[in-house]
Structure 1
Amino acid sequence: MVRKSTFTMACMLMTVGCANLQTNEASKGKTGETNNNDFSSKNNLGNENITIEIIGGKKEKIENHYSTSNNSSEQKKSAHKSTDTVRKSEKYSELNEKIDDLKVTKLFDENRLVDRSMPNSQLVLQKLSELKRRHQEILLNGTFSQKKTVELQNQLLKAYSNWKGTKYSLGGDSENGMDCSALTRRVYREVYGYELPRQTVQQVKVGTHVSKENLKPGDIVFFRPEEKNNHTAVYLGDTLFINASASKGVVISTLENTYWNKYFKYGVRIREV
């Protein structure tokens, strides 16, 4: 009887020991998993340098989901209702300036964008640095509309970097030489997929006129220097614009420059883009 009681007690102790061992292992596994997740989230904070791309991931997934439905009338009605709900939800989301489809990869390097030999180069560099800091703040806490502007400005800068330093050539439209209207046309083609007329006087007739105070990124800026050809460029924001300068070639200039400020006439906004 004593032996039987002892044997029973030993079995119970072994069972409790195994249970504790399993609990400890499970606890270690959970702790390890949490640590790994924390480590990976820290590693995923990304670099200071980033680029923006708006993607329609959610909408595509929803449409793909409904495309797999069969052709029964009930499912069609259900899909139709759900699609309406999704559209309303997307509209509501946009009105409330939420953004779920923002993909962040890499921002511009302001030091590589500025020609240090041009007038006002330090001012342009300063303004680009401020623009980049503003982009970083918007990416963290900005509205949908603000993030779309960040995306556009980065696309404009990307198009500019494709032609930066190209020498000025009246009538030119290639990497060997380019004039102002050719650059404006190229930038619009690369950023918007929109084909502007070739000549300056035709480009300024395409959209509506806007004042200097109401300029937005992507607007065409129009200058009329005395005894010189009319001039167009593409506005970037914060007085900066992408410019084919007769003396420096393709550069970023500022409306705060005495010359450009004096001969600025108006901006042109194309509604189709």
Structure 2
Amino acid sequence: MKFSTFCILFLGIIVLSSCHSTKRVTYKSSQANNRVTKVDNSKNSSLKKEVSTVLKEAKKFLGTPYKYGGTTKTGLDCSGLVFNSFDAIGVKMPRISREQANLGKEIRLREVKEGDLVFFNTSGSSISHVGIVETVKNGEIFFIHSSTSKGVIISSLEETYWNKRFVKATRIL
């Protein structure tokens, strides 16, 4: 066999052995994927359950009249609503909205999700009101809170009164 024939054969073998299908084949360990999926899903599931519990507790107070310093179904204020709602999942919150505003991570308004807190300045130069984000629909933020005039209700952040008084949002969960 001549050297040139040998080289051609050798190159042919290399080319043929290096060819591959255009179809991507991925090999996965189902055990490893299940483990990762379970961790991610249980974390998300647990968080969703906590948020759901907080909102369910807050909604139990819908229609409850406003009472300064109140924390019961006979009457409560905005921070009392937050205090009771988070207590349902074992999260101990301060009793004053201005102190509640110091907890958690401050987030941008466009990042707000259900269960986050929104803070307002309704009476002076500091935070004096708080609500719990109930839902976000098409970018519109609805929050549950205890209004001095209407008791516990759900309002929109697009309402002029609340929009002008918004200070910040935080995430506890």
Q: Choose from 262, 269, 272 the match for 2:164.
A: 262
Q: Which residue of 1 aligns with 2:150?
A: 248
Separation in 2, partners of 1:185, 1:174: 11
The one of the two structures with greater contact order (alpha-carbon pairs below 8 A, sep at least 6) is 2
The alpha-carbon deviation at position 160 of structure 1 amounts to: 2.5
Query: Could you say if the C-alpha distance between residues 86 and 163 of structure 1 is closer, same or farther in structure 2, counting changes exceeding 3 Å?
Result: farther
How far does residue 207 in structure 1 lie from its aligned partner after superposition?
1.5
Q: Please state how far the C-alpha of 1:90 moved relative to its aligned partner.
A: 2.6
Cα pair 1:180 1:244 within 8 Å, conserved: yes
Q: Does 1:230 align with 2:128?
A: yes
| Aligned residues with identical type, % of pairs | 31
Q: What is the deviation of 1:161?
A: 2.9
2: distance between equivalents of 1:164 and 1:226?
23
Does the CA contact (< 8 Å) of 2:55 and 2:115 recur in 1? Answer: no
Higher gyration radius (CA)? 1
TM-score by length of 1: 0.45
State the 1:165 CA deviation: 0.9
How does 1:1-273 map onto structure 2 within 5 Å? 89-93=34-38, 151=49, 154-190=52-88, 192-227=89-124, 230-238=128-136, 239-270=141-172, 273=173
Asked whether the equivalents of residues 182 and 198 of structure 1 are also in contact (C-alpha less than 8 Å), the reply is: yes
The answer for the alignment partner of 2:27 in structure 1 is none
Deviations 1:18-53 (A, max 9, x none): xxxxxxxxxxxxxxxxxxxxxxxxxxxxxxxxxxxx
After superposition, the C-alpha distances for 1:91-149 in whole angstroms (9 at most, x for unaligned) are: 14555xxx6x8xxxxxxxxxxxxxxxxxxxxxxxxxxxxxxxxxxxxxxxxxx95x777
**Aligned equivalents of 2:65 and 2:85: distance in 1?**
16
Q: What is the Cα deviation at residue 158 of structure 1? A: 1.9
Larger helix fraction of residues:
1
What's the secondary structure of 1:163's corresponding residue? Answer: coil
| Residue deviations 1:187-218 (CA, integer Å, cap 9, x gap) | 1112x320101111111111221121111211
Q: C-alpha displacement at 1:175, in angstroms? A: 1.6
Matching residue's letter, 2:164: K
Q: CA shift at 1:154, angstroms?
A: 4.1
Indicate the structure with greater strand content. Answer: 2
Task: Work out the CA distance in 1 between the residues paired with 2:109 and 2:99.
Answer: 20
**C-alpha contact (below 8 Å) 1:149/1:217 kept by paired residues:** no
